[in-house]
Amino acid sequence: MKKAVILLSGGMDSTTCMSVAYKEGYDMYPISFDYNQRHKRELECAKNVAEFYKVKQHKIIKLDNVGGSALTDFTIDVPDYKGDSEKIPVTYVPARNILFLSYAVGYGEVIDAEAIFIGVSSVDYSGYPDCRPEFIEAFQKVINIGTKSGVEGRPIKIITPLINLTKAETVKLAVKNQAPLHLTTTCYKGGEKACGICDSCRLRIKGFKKAGIKDPIEYEIEIDWRDNK
């Protein structure tokens, strides 16, 4: 059976990616990362998602974070959503996807995987530079020329099922694939209930509203799911 490494955060996007890999018949090997993020609740969600799909092995890799982000530095507040901005937000974690993909490629070579699934999107997203198509294309070139499998003509392929999807389209895809969205969380603040006001929550809420679907997770604030704005 063909194998795939899944970058599984425990959020909606990575879980939707996992549902795509499952539908496409991959033997899935999810990996998650503990980089001292304040939203560590995602790791528990990742464990639950991995158990839902009955995977053979789910790795959680411990990384020392480099700081400089509201998600890893507790002296920097997670900002409330203030609308679209051209600036890279303080929730950007320096080189996060570079590190994650590097580990995924190494692990992929060990288990002889054909693909890596990552839930990046360049449509409804927070403006992170490591979520853009240009970044994925560049990293694919690194795999092609910097790994044994690549040099031998069978490079591991980075698969990004969500990169051109809106959040509403991602929600619809997840529901179509019966992804366990009730087991996920997206909130940057990492509480038992999602805050509903951080950038990540607002993007998720917007996606569900535009999809015309009620989010199965709980929020600290009351949300009118009939309002698609």
Residue positions forming the annotated binding site: 8-18, 187, 195, 198, 201
Residue partners of 21: CB distance under 8 A and separation at least 6: 4, 6, 28, 115, 117, 159
Q: Report d(CA 168, CA 145) in Å as an integer.
A: 36
- 220, with CB counted inside 10 A (0-12, 13-18, 19+), is middle
Contact predicate 193/219, CB 8 Å: yes
Task: Give me the half-sphere count of Cα atoms (radius 13 Å) on the Cβ side of residue 96.
Answer: 24
Contact predicate 29/140, CB 8 Å: no
Report the binding-site residues for ATP.
8-18
Report the binding-site residues for Zn(2+).
187, 195, 198, 201
Ramachandran angles phi, psi of 96, nearest 5°: -60, -50
Give the residues across from 40 on adjacent strands.
none
